[in-house]
Structure 1
Amino acid sequence: MEAFHSSMTLPFSYTFATTITGSSSSSNTANPITTPWMDRRIWSKLPQRLLDRVLAFLPPPAFFRARAVCKRWYALLFSDTFLEIYLQLSPRHNWFLFFKHKTLKSYIYRNSGGGDGDNSSPCEGYLFDPYDITWYRLSFALVPAGFSPASSSGGLVCWVSDEAGPKSIILCNPVLGSLTQLPPTLIPRLFPSIGLTVSPSSIDVIVAGDDMISPYAVKNLTAENFHIDGGGFYSIWGTTSSLPRLCSLESGRMVYMGAKFYCMNYSPFSVLAHDITTNTWCKIQAPMRRFLRSPSLVESRGNLLLVAAVEKSKLNVPKSFRLWSLQACGTTWVEVERMPQQLYIQFEELEGGNGFDCVGHGEFIVIMIRGSSDKALLLDIYRKIWQWIPPCPYSQGGGGGRGGELHGFAYEPRLATPVTGLLDQLTTLPFQPFTG
């Protein structure tokens, strides 16, 4: 596993400034070893369990730097005692993970014998910390060629095979460098939409649309689910459902909230919702659907938000960028935020009609301009703060080409994902079928 590489220096100094009163005038420099703040005679005698609790609160980049201190700290990732404390106490990190975008055009060229024939998977991702506005680089060297990132949840990144046919899916923890492969799907598909939700005791995956009805045609007809949990229930792609008629899942993104997966439906705009417990789909009408541009769905602290630009060309209403929240009834939207008009004018000029994509996590929403790897906005929706994100220093795709833009997911770094151990026991444990 490659260590984190920070693009910025640490925002805080870990050296405490101390002043010794009552010292002689001839001694102007205090020895930090003798001050009570950093006296090694005190710090070296901390109980190990207390020290483990302190280390469990470190953010992942600082934790991996700390592992270079000694052999015991290096071995913490393999310590059941430490990982138990970590899972109980570690604070959540509402970060984002970005990858270079793979296009449908490059896939067609590669399989028709044209183009550059690049069949390599992305070997690295770009981790963004919205709290400190810091970029890091993560290695994905273990992910085999021919797979693309499709979703993320619970510290795991879901990779799906690019080749047409039954889809192979890999769950990867980039912090640990671990890979876990799921059994292949049952229905041949081209570029389906993928949804993933990982809890401490269960994993749910949904693969929807792009059914291959012939070698030359696809249609959005069905969805199939994978489920496994610690209670012994499982469904290995055995639970299927029919998609609503005339649905179009162009974005490929799914958002999970409240036992439901949500995704955008195009032509005309609406929202599709899949209830896991009843295995049913329904359509939710989008707000101002005739005037939306580049709509996206994001989850923010238990709320489903629809983010889009609004353009009423034939009405005397200024163009704007708005956010709506789906209410508890499940059918009504309420506007909750609007981009300041002066900022929207600047945003629209930079966007140039190319469109944009949004991804949310916690209180943050990132708006990425399509066709660019260095133009993005960060919204703190609870503090109502908008700010431009500095370019990722590790992305070398060029701002002008489609191949250089970044494609992102909500991501929470985790040092442990014990639920993946259930996948290794699929063939040995006496599971009971899951029929939800």
Structure 2
Amino acid sequence: MAARAGKSQEMDPGIWCHLPVELLEHVLSFLPLKSFFNLLCTCKRFKSLIYSPSFLAKYSPSPSSSSSSSSPALSSFLLLSHPQFYRHRLPLYDSAIGNWRNLSLTCSILLPYAATTAITLLSAANGLLCFSLPNSSSFLVCNLLVGSSRVLQFPGYPFAFEMLTLVPAPNGYKIFMIASGSSSNNAWVYDSGVHSWREFQGFDPTLSDNCHQGVYCNGVLYFCTSEPFSIACFDLESGVWDRSVVELPGELTFVKLVSDGEGKLYLVGGIGRNGISKSMKLWELEGENWVLVESLPEFMCQKLVSVCYHNYEHVYCFWHQETICVCCYTWPEILYYKVARRTWHWLPKCPSLPDKWSCGFRWFSFVPELYAQV
């Protein structure tokens, strides 16, 4: 019987409740991510389906089919942390649609910490965020998408750390950290698979003082050293330090590393003399050689040099969705390179940033992951 004019047609509940599981899973796999998660609180059946192995297989496309329209596309964001944002929100730039929005830190898993103290975002990877908890020897790792979190207690207290890197692992994630002690600086690695810390001695003392995170590629973390520039390597499994034997390009004024997460390693470096950069170039590691990919246009290089005032320790780089981002702690904009198009661009500053801003800008690549476990 046709539906009456002016009234919506609804499916008979008796039919809906007997819909085959495989058909229901297929329908749910087309939903946008936001609508997808609104279903979690509607009924137990939806929640159990969403976390079933068969639905996971439908929702998580293989690399070869990542562009398929049969699975909902995850949004990707550039996340900005700054002391002037205090503890309640972090601006997000949606790189897919070019809009700004805010990430609230007053959600249920962060509220107990953000309401009492200023938690600091340290690292992001694989859909997870890692915060430091002041006045304690703990870190908070969370997946804001699904509302899960874990507090990681560091074995020693009091302690200080010089750098921290959150990296993906086959069965979860790892956290690399250099802990500063009274007698020595040792490397520590947390493995979420076994929920424990391991200490590794033999810290390479030549790492650059301004090196805040390592660059992860094929199970190894790469770090830049102070002048004369070189690359130090730390194997996350064995805990062994090594030096790269690949010769770096000449006349470098600064060196920054970037990895695409799939095995490619890039080098961003200033070219000049006496600590003054006249140009900036991008190289890719191919075998035992750094191969020049692109040079930054002169007018863009002049702006970059002017905003960092030749204090290249303020410059840092990271990979975000097929782009290489070049940032400066003292400047609220991002210089980025689109690898596929071979073009350079500037991302304007966040509109919610106060007019009177100071240094301390920290950008992160944030790509939400449904099944990232804490």
Shared fold, TM over 0.5: yes
Sequence identity (%):
23
| Aligned equivalents of 2:45, 2:202: Cα separation in 1 | 43
In structure 2, the residue matched to 1:323 is 282
Q: What TM-score, normalized by structure 2, do the two folds share?
A: 0.75
Do the aligned partners of 1:372 and 1:398 also contact (CA within 8 Å) in 2?
Answer: no
Per the alignment, do residues 193 and 78 of structure 1 end up closer, same or farther by CA in structure 2, a change over 3 Å counting? farther
Which position in structure 2 is the counterpart of 1:416?
A: 371
Kindly provide the CA deviation profile for residues 144-198 of structure 1, in whole angstroms up to 9, marking residues without a partner as x: 22532121222111112344xx731211112233221123234753232112223
Q: Which residue of 1 aligns with 2:235?
A: 275
- In structure 1, the gaps of 5 or more residues are 1-32, 103-117, 421-436
1:180 aligns with 2:150: yes
Instruction: Confirm or deny that 1:225 pairs with 2:195.
Output: no
Aligned to 1:80: 48
Is 1:387 matched with 2:345?
A: yes
CA distance in 2, matches of 1:411, 1:326: 25
**Residues in 2 aligned to 1:314 and 1:350: alpha-carbon distance in whole angstroms:** 15
Q: Distance in 1 between matches of 2:305 and 2:76?
A: 26
Match of 1:340 in 2: 297
CA distance in 2, matches of 1:158, 1:264: 23
Q: For 1:98, which of 70, 74, 79 is the aligned residue?
A: 79
| Residues 94 and 361, structure 1, Cα contact 8 Å, conserved in 2 | no
Is 2:207 the partner of 1:247? yes
1:129 aligns with 2:89: no
> Aligned ranges for residues 206-225 of structure 1 at < 5 Å?
206-209=176-179, 211-213=180-182, 221-225=185-189
> Taking structure 1 as the reference length, what is the TM-score of the superposition?
0.66
Is the Cα contact below 8 Å between 1:364 and 1:379 reproduced in 2? yes
CA distance in 1 between counterparts of 2:149 and 2:366 reads 17
Q: CA deviation at 1:389?
A: 1.6
Q: 1:180 to 1:286 in 2, by over 3 A?
A: farther
Q: Deviation at 1:391?
A: 2.9
**Mapped contact 1:324–1:336 kept (Cα < 8 A):** yes
Match of 2:269 in 1: 308
Of 260-269 and 306-315, more deviation after overlay is shown by: 306-315
Contact 1:360 1:410 in 2 (8 A): yes
How big is the shift at 1:48?
Answer: 6.8
> Structure 2: how far apart are the matches of 1:89 and 1:133?
25
Contact 1:162 1:191 in 2 (8 A): no
CA distance in 2, matches of 1:186, 1:206: 15
1:253, distance to aligned residue in structure 2 (A): 1.0
Task: Give the CA deviation at 1:269.
Answer: 2.9
Amino acid at match of 2:91: Y
* Structure 2 Cα separation of the partners of residues 72 and 176 of structure 1: 9
Structure 2 residue runs without a partner (length 5+): 61-65, 67-72
Amino acid of the residue matched to residue 163 of structure 2? S
Alignment of 1:24-43 (within 5 A): none
Counterpart of 2:69 in structure 1 is: none
Asked whether 1:171 is paired with 2:141, we answer: yes
1:248 alignment partner AA: S
Mapped to 2, the partners of 1:343 and 1:238 lie a distance apart of: 44
1:5 corresponds to which residue? Answer: none
For the Cα contact (< 8 Å) 2:188–2:199, is it kept in 1? yes
Shift of 1:357: 2.6
Cα shift at 1:256: 1.5
Contact preservation (8 Å) 2:323, 2:339: yes
Q: Larger Rg: 1 or 2?
A: 1
Tell me the CA shift for residue 283 of structure 1: 2.5
Give the aligned length.
340
SS in structure 1 of the partner of residue 50 of structure 2: helix
Deviations 1:48-96 (A, max 9, x none): 75564455455xxx5325666xx67855997132234256534575834
Q: Assess if the C-alpha contact under 8 Å between 1:161 and 1:167 holds in 2.
A: yes
CA 1:100/1:227 → structure 2, altered by over 3 Å: closer, same or farther? closer
Partner of 1:238 in structure 2? Answer: 198
Q: State the alpha-carbon separation in 1 of the partners of residues 269 and 44 from structure 2.
A: 44
**For the aligned residues, what is the CA RMSD?**
3.8
Q: Aligned-pair distance for 1:223?
A: 0.4
* TM superposition shift of 1:271: 2.2
Counterpart contact for 1:260–1:276, Cα < 8 Å: yes
Please name the residue that 2:220 is paired with.
260
Cα deviation, 1:197-237, whole Å, max 9, x if unaligned, reads 2346232222114x1217xxxx6x210122243xxxx3722
Query: What's the counterpart of residue 376 of structure 1?
Result: 334
